[in-house]
Amino acid sequence: MPHAEPVAAVPTDAALIAAWQGGDEQAAAELVRRHARALARFLASAGAPDGDLDDLVQETFIRAFRGVDRFRGQCRFRTWLLTIGGNVLKDAARRARRAKVVPLHEELRATDGDPHERAVAGEAEGRLLAGLGRLSRMQREVFLLRAQQGLAYEEIAAALGTSPGAARVHYHHAVKRLKEYLA
């Protein structure tokens, strides 16, 4: 009787999570491969615009991998991932509502700008970028998530694995340091 080739055991999600935490990047790629399609279907059915699906899936995995140490296995990994995806979708909808564009009347729309004003604005932008480069990584990320993305401190804390109070402190210090750089 011929010997059958042994079938390789398919690793569980928990085994892949443990492998990823141990530094195995392929384990993370396998988790994405295993769950991305279901996550995209869930987000689409929950109302995510087709054009935003890839970004929302990516953001969900970023948040999940940053917070994977909080996954305790009380539910399936996919269920936990879909919960995060739902939160990412809600956050995106809130940002979209806050970022509604109001068109300017034609007579108010600047078409060319004063060259001096453009030069001053360009110089200020350069100083701001240089100032951002001098901040600690945490201060820079908190500042950008708050000022650029409009996230609440609770959302920032969840995304960066810190507390809302610590996020407030990092933001305060970032603003203080940027004001010093721009003065």
What's the CATH code of the domain at 35?
1.10.1740.10
Task: Provide the whole-model pTM.
Answer: 0.51
Q: Which helix (H) or strand (E) holds 160?
A: helix 153-160
The CA R_g of the chain, rounded to the nearest whole Å, is 22
Structural domain that includes position 169: 129-183
Number of domains within the chain: 2
Q: Of 98, 117, 142, which marks where a domain is finished?
A: 98
Asked if 92 and 22 sit in the same domain, the reply is yes
Asked if 26 and 84 sit in the same domain, the reply is yes
pLDDT tens over the chain, length 183 residues: 556 655 567 889 989 999 988 888 899 999 999 999 999 988 888 888 888 999 999 999 999 999 888 887 777 888 889 889 989 988 888 888 776 555 555 555 555 667 767 676 667 777 777 787 788 878 887 887 787 667 788 877 776 778 888 889 889 888 888 888 777
Question: Which CATH number covers residue 150?
Answer: 1.10.10.10
Asked if 18 and 93 sit in the same domain, the reply is yes
Asked if 20 and 72 sit in the same domain, the reply is yes
Amino acid at 115: P
